[in-house]
Structure 1
């Protein structure tokens, strides 16, 4: 993504001059204050926003799966129907065996496949959303605060699950949570300033998902919190 003049929305500058590339097969986490343009960058990458004049974004159509902050399960389809929603919308025959296998991968029982979303807990709904994302089998996955709607223990488990199931895919993860970024990311970018620009911060050694109690990770979390506080000010 190359935005030499940045990006304005509604006449207000949101992003300053931006150059963003994703490392193949690795997780890039994007943090910053509310309104700093994180979701805007994600939508640009997904092709959901028009690229400003003079800018360029690599076209990713057909190669991207998108996981939003909300689970976005439709109430009129059961769990299996939600996981196979992409095939349904494309008019294709869904691979039900693969859908059931993915539901098992995210820790849902065979009986859960026939439940309605209203019968699921928040954590179960997020696992269905993750299975639906994986069902698309795309090499690039864009995630917009995908686990923020669940409690802390469930979030911790979902992070570990995502790290395992998304291994070797190219992931752009938008998050407000420094610990989440430090556990999951191979690379961390922080947006700050008005208009916002991105700066890179170091990540602890070791492969994701990193242990939340690792002293090096906890020290990095404190430093990243300070960095985010500076971005706000």
Structure 2
């Protein structure tokens, strides 16, 4: 067991509201009038079939996709979201000329932060927690797809941001590693506001305080399911298994 070297304090809880979100492609609306609230200090999970617009919605919140009017994305405190977001894309986006450690430290490097011993220790500890102890000086070309995704996860969790956006963060992992890293993510996201896009109902129910399904054409987001108890929940929890059937029903509707 490794003890995480944490930043000085968890940022104040942040709520985020997405209202009247709209996206069109070649004149065809993919979604319109989509509303979603990210509750403060909670993990919100979003499921839906491929191509429904989940990733684009995530990118709108991150400021990486231009929202179409009348879309609004706003923090509950009224301040800009810029500079307060940690974002993990589906692709690992590692820089091939940097080793695993320097990829985890990339955010601090881009901000011009001093490479302190405490910062390096925390990065090394995160790499160990994601199962890459001893691989910190390997470049991405020497790592498997799943290992690169773990580096990207460590880099995201390294950021001290109140809002964390994650797009299929465990998709390249084997089943056991996936479960273990879900538990790590739940631990390190405690006290932060997070939106997790996933195709896995069980993953959503293990990690989410609130779970939404995005379906239809144009797509809409349905009401939240709220699994009982804090995450991460056991995979054999009867309530989780019961809700999984309801999620599958919603996905198929």
**Normalised by the size of structure 2, how large is the TM-score?**
0.83
In structure 2, distance between residues paired with 1:22 and 1:95: 34
Task: Tell me the equivalent position of 2:93.
Answer: 72
Choose 141-150 or 126-135, whichever is displaced more: 126-135
For 1:134, which of 146, 152, 157 is the aligned residue? 157
| CA offsets 1:137-195 (integer angstroms, 9 cap, x no match) | 11100000111111111111111111111111100000000000000000011111111
Preserved CA contact (<8 Å) 2:41 2:191: yes
Structure 1 segments unaligned to the other structure (5+ residues): none
| CA offsets 1:45-97 (integer angstroms, 9 cap, x no match) | 00112222233212410000001222222221111110111233334433453
Return closer, same or farther for 1:44/1:114 CA change in 2, 3 Å cut-off.
Answer: same
Task: Tell me the equivalent position of 1:199.
Answer: 222
In structure 2, distance between residues paired with 1:108 and 1:93: 26
Task: Tell me the equivalent position of 1:223.
Answer: 246
Task: Tell me the equivalent position of 1:156.
Answer: 179
CA drift of 1:123 comes to 4.1
Choose 178-187 or 134-143, whichever is displaced more: 134-143
Alignment of 1:82-231 (within 5 A): 82-105=103-126, 106-108=129-131, 111-230=134-253
For 1:18, which of 29, 34, 52 is the aligned residue? 34
**Normalised by the size of structure 1, how large is the TM-score?**
0.90
Q: Which has the higher helix share?
A: 1
